[in-house]
Amino acid sequence: MSRPVLLAVDDDGPVLAAVERDLRARYAEHYRVLTASSGGQALDLLRRLRLREEPVALLLVDQRMPGTCGVELLSASRPLHPEARRVLLTAYADTEAAIAAINDAGVQHYLRKPWHPPEERLYPVLDDLLRTWRRPAPVAGLRLLGDRWSPATHALRQFLGRNLVPYRWMDVEADCAARQLLVVAGADAGSLPVLLLDDGEVLTRPEPAEVAGRIGLPARAQRTAYDLVVAGAGPAGLAAGVRGASEGLSTLLLECNAPGGQAGATSRIANYLGVPAGLSGADLTVRAREQAIRLGAEVLVPAEAVGLRRADPYTVVRLADGDEVSASTLVIASGVTYRTLDVPGVDALSGQGVYYGAGRAEAVDHAGGAVYVVGGGNAAGQAAIFLGQVAASVTLLVRGSELAGTMSRYLIDRLEAAETVSVEYDTEVVGAVGTGRLAGLRLRSGGTAEREVDADAVFVFIGQAPRTGWLEGVVRRDERGFVLTGADLGSPPPDWPLDVPPLPLETSVPRVFAAGDVRRGSTKRIASAVAEGAMAVSLAHERLAGR
């Protein structure tokens, strides 16, 4: 495949030449640098690149151009090259337009002119964006054959997508080529999903652990004992892994599904400090995972912690495959799962139009459809805005009479401005309708009689349950299952074996800490989870030093 394209667009000849010069100086070895002197010329080039299936990694576009301005060009480029990173070049007076472009045109960053020296003001920004860009999956390579309405197929697509594994999705119901490949592979509809590997091997109905082993995702620990084991690789776990590895601790991160946790599936994080353009949960995860590994941490996926025991002064974690790893210190960052919607018809349609969380695969499957989002928190608001970019209509169903008490103001403002999104208050789902796939929902609003609406999909965000069953009998939890830490354990804590009280974030077991959503009293925000993950490692050092 040809080198990915970096496209610079500016109607000012000397400026365009300077941009081209700086891009070539840094990126010519791995990317093809192209230029255009107008928005129309750029769009024509982007269309031709799309027809030739040539990947575009980045667009660097000037705002002030006659005819088609930078924001308009970047917005028009999204259907042609949706994965491309988008940067707007602006003058100081265009700052408001640049900020608006973050919401309207999918801009990841804006740069003010002049950008010199590029080593300080241009290259760090572009390097960071290009690290998170993924080349589209090649036509030949990993191919997944399945039925879009199959829960098993949906689970495997989620696993591959969340772990950023490039693959080609082929729906046997809609794609004749997929059905032909199924016959060639010697499989049938009862074998779905079928995964065709690069070397021609065929996996039928594979579990994620089997897939991970075949495609090179590390799922077995290299050692039996570590200074630091982190259970969970969401924001808190990744922060703990980065901090531990950076300080020279032998560090192991265990993740049962995909790095990033629930945050990894978030379409856009707009309130994270230092990222004014916002970023997706996947982008944040890529950065953090790469950082942890580069510093020396091991990250195992899928590797689920299923049990815990003490072998003083160590803690031993039992994994789902039967292996055990010993930890001098343990950070519990196993996070939470969305609570299921307990109404008639929903369980049978999970993965068949009923989803918990909203990923890219689900959004693509329901492009142009009528979808519903259930919940009133930030996750529900982010999902509604994300789905509104592809669905014909998105209806947010809220049990309460307002959003102000449960959702950030910036999300409420964006919901009100979104043309394809509407909100229904005092409304709850009382049933789901469909056989083999979701066809409709039964709703009740404000005590009125039930009504049925057509629905292609429903995405549920109605509260969280902690992943802490594996701690049973070892680590104290509250009545809802959240881990008790620090002062919440009592003064003095029952059965506490040390002469000094538990440290903040320390659990009922010395040298075992909890961070992020899994901990009682946590803020349930990405920034606070990151802070707790890093803080847990600092406190672990303090405990190991005997303080």
Q: Is the peptide bond before 193 cis (omega within 30 degrees of 0)?
A: yes
What is the pLDDT at residue 219?
A: 78
What is the pLDDT at residue 277?
A: 66
**What are 365-417's pLDDT values in tens digits?**
899 999 999 999 988 999 999 999 899 999 999 999 999 988 989 899 999 99
Helix (H, G, I), strand (E, B) or coil at 325: strand
**What are 248-266's pLDDT values in tens digits?**
999 999 999 888 877 776 7
Cα–Cα dist 290/253, whole Å: 13
Q: Angle at Cα 292 formed by Cα 288 and Cα 293, nearest 5°?
A: 120
From the number of C-beta atoms within 10 Å of its C-beta (0-12, 13-18, 19+), residue 263 rates as buried
What is the pLDDT at residue 137?
A: 46
**Spatial strand order in the sheet of 427-433:** 427-433, 440-445, 451-454
Q: Which two tokens stand for residue 534?
A: 């890093």
What is the pLDDT at residue 325?
A: 97
CA-nearest of 448, 373, 441, 430 to 407 is 373
Q: Which two tokens stand for residue 161?
A: 């997508």
CA-nearest of 536, 98, 531 to 272 is 531
Cα–Cα dist 492/124, whole Å: 50
What is the pLDDT at residue 131?
A: 84
Cα–Cα dist 277/117, whole Å: 22
What is the pLDDT at residue 139?
A: 42
* Placement of tokens 């070895």 in the chain: 29
Question: What SS3 string covers 425-482?
Answer: CCEEEEEEECCCCCCEEEEEECCCCCEEEECCEEEECCCEEECCHHHCCCCCECCCCC
What is the pLDDT at residue 135?
A: 61
Mark the ranges of the chain whose per-residue pLDDT is less than 70. 1, 92-95, 98, 100, 103-104, 135-141, 265, 267, 276-278, 547
Q: Which domains does the chain have, with CATH numbers?
A: 5-132 (3.40.50.2300), 143-215 (3.40.30.10), 225-337+467-544 (3.50.50.60), 347-462 (3.50.50.60)
